[in-house]
């Protein structure tokens, strides 16, 4: 039995998949579930983004997208569709990366997942080297399942936890403040608006559990 499991984050640049192309053409930020590859090579996609008519039109005009369905919410829309264009993510999965979530912004993709052992990670990296620009942003050992993570304890998302940790590390919560929101966002390699949105959502969740 292999005792080590690593949490990994990959950054993908240069992929021409529909979601990357759509965020390259618009200002949208997309949060996606792992794509589901069908036997015929087509891919089932489910993702969400702040309500954006330009994104909707871009996807609707993409000949590689079929059966696009959009469910509008108060602040964001949920998209479901079929893509005729497999993306680089499938190469990482084939090499052993268990993809858990994806984020697309500005034509780039951030892939978050896990690999079992460093040997598998090496294989994933070798497979990634044969594709478009894929680089490993970070890898760290998954903590014991018997020790609940902050996300499990407080019902916040991994991305919200990362924002809180980064803000603490660079002094965003210090008095006087040692870092600006933009500096924390740059540290996370996300937009300022994305950082503030995740931070405020996490604060709301935490405060509700503490005081209500």
Q: How far is CA 144 from CA 148, 151, 161, in A?
A: 8, 14, 17
Q: Which of 141, 161, 184 lies at the terminal end of a domain, its last residue?
A: 141
CB 110 within 8 A of CB 102: yes
More confident residue, 169 or 147: 169
Same domain flag for 130 and 189: no
Same domain flag for 45 and 137: yes
Angle at 49 between CA 47 and CA 172, to 5 degrees: 115
CATH assignment of the domain containing 186:
1.10.10
Same domain flag for 54 and 102: yes
Same domain flag for 123 and 162: no
Same domain flag for 65 and 13: yes
Give yes or no for residue 160 having a pLDDT over 50.
yes
d(CA 15, CA 92) in angstroms, rounded, equals 13
d(CA 95, CA 120) in angstroms, rounded, equals 7
Measure the N-to-C terminal CA separation of the chain; round to a whole number of Å. Answer: 44
Same domain flag for 124 and 160: no
Same domain flag for 13 and 105: yes
Q: Which of 118, 141, 164 lies at the terminal end of a domain, its last residue?
A: 141
Phi-psi region of 135 (alpha: psi -120 to 50; beta: other; left: phi over 0): beta
pLDDT tier at 146, thresholds 50, 70, 90: very low
Q: Which of 112, 141, 170 lies at the terminal end of a domain, its last residue?
A: 141
Same domain flag for 85 and 12: yes
Same domain flag for 86 and 107: yes
Same domain flag for 176 and 95: no
Same domain flag for 103 and 193: no
**Parent domain of 160:** 150-211
Mean pLDDT of the residues in the chain: 86
Give yes or no for residue 151 having a pLDDT over 70.
no
Quick one: average pLDDT of 15-35? 91
pLDDT tier at 81, thresholds 50, 70, 90: very high
CB 95 within 8 A of CB 127: yes
Same domain flag for 73 and 166: no
pLDDT tier at 206, thresholds 50, 70, 90: confident
d(CA 140, CA 114) in angstroms, rounded, equals 9
d(CA 207, CA 108) in angstroms, rounded, equals 33
Q: Give tens-digit pLDDT for 6-22.
A: 888 888 888 888 999 99
What pLDDT sits at residue 13?
87
Give yes or no for residue 23 having a pLDDT over 90.
yes
State how many domains the chain has. Answer: 2
What pLDDT sits at residue 83?
96
């Amino acid at each position: 039995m292999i005792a080590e499991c690593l949490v990994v984050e990959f950054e993908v640049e240069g992929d021409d998949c529909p979601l990357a192309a759509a965020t390259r053409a618009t200002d949208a930020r997309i949060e996606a579930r792992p794509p589901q590859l069908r036997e015929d090579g087509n891919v089932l996609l489910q993702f969400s983004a702040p309500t954006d008519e330009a994104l909707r039109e871009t996807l609707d005009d993409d000949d590689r997208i079929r059966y696009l369905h959009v469910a509008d919410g108060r602040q964001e829309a949920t998209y479901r569709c079929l893509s005729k264009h497999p993306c680089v993510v499938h190469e990482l999965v084939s090499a052993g990366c268990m993809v858990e979530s994806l984020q697309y912004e500005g034509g780039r993709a951030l892939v978050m997942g896990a690999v079992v052992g460093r040997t598998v990670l090496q294989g994933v990296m070798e497979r990634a080297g044969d594709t478009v620009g894929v680089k490993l942003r970070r890898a760290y050992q998954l903590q014991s399942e018997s020790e609940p993570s902050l996300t499990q304890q407080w019902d916040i998302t991994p991305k919200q936890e990362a924002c809180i940790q980064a803000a603490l590390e660079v002094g965003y919560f210090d008095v006087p403040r040692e870092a600006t929101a933009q500096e924390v966002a740059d540290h996370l390699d996300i937009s300022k608006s994305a950082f503030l949105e995740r931070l405020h959502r996490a604060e709301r969740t935490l405060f509700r559990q503490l005081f209500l």
